Amino acid sequence: MSKQELKQKGFTIIEVVLVLAIAALIFLMVFIALPALQRNQRDAARKQELQKVVSAVTTWQSNHRGQSPKASDEEAFSKYLDANVVNGKIQLATTDVDITDTAIGAGQTGGATTSTIILSTKNGCNADSTAFGPQSNSRQSAAVVQMENGQAFFCQAS
């Protein structure tokens, strides 16, 4: 083989560096986008659990002559959610549920976090569904949870 033939085989260093740079950019884009996607998925799970709690309140009220569950009813109410009570809180897949019998001030979140849904049997939601507000009727209950994306709160009333 001549020197000319040997020089034509393989890749130049510039071609190798270019391919590695493109691969690095692809990995960088994936690692930047992945945490945001995971946060969105966890927030969607929180909203789904919040809706499950509000639906369980409606079912509870249908079975208990319009009465909302009280803090002392956590054990019985947990059956409506197919969940267990641990340390006074109902444990769901991604969040816990804490029931309160006292009204929480309008615009307040009652201590809701990304891991705890606060269920108030004496409140509704405010106009933009980000915090507790006044009840529209005596049977109304509301639940609030904090979202991870943007640290906003989400409220849903029964």
Query: Please, are residues 145 and 123 in contact by the beta-carbon 8 Å criterion?
Result: no
- pLDDT grade for 97, boundaries at 50, 70 and 90: very high
**108: which 2 tokens?**
């307040």
- Which phi and psi (to 5°) does residue 89 adopt? -125, 145
Contacts of 28 (CB under 8 A, 6+ apart): none
Task: Give me the chain's average pLDDT, please.
Answer: 89
Angstrom distances, CA of residue 25 to CA of 19, 46, 69, 130? 10, 33, 53, 38
Assess whether pLDDT exceeds 60 at residue 123: yes
Measure the CA–CA gap between 11 and 33, rounded to whole angstroms. Answer: 32
Tens-digit pLDDT profile for residues 42-54: 999 999 999 999 9
Q: Environment class of residue 69 by beta-carbon count within 10 Å: exposed (0-12), middle (13-18) or buried (19+)?
A: buried
- Which phi and psi (to 5°) does residue 113 adopt? -130, -175
Please report the pLDDT score of residue 87 as a whole number: 86
**What is the DSSP secondary-structure string of 81-118?**
TT-EEETTEEE-SS-EEEEE-S---TT--TT--SSEEE
Q: Environment class of residue 139 by beta-carbon count within 10 Å: exposed (0-12), middle (13-18) or buried (19+)?
A: middle
Q: Are strands 132-133 and 124-125 parallel, antiparallel or unpaired?
A: antiparallel
Q: By percentage, how much of the chain surpasses pLDDT 90? A: 53
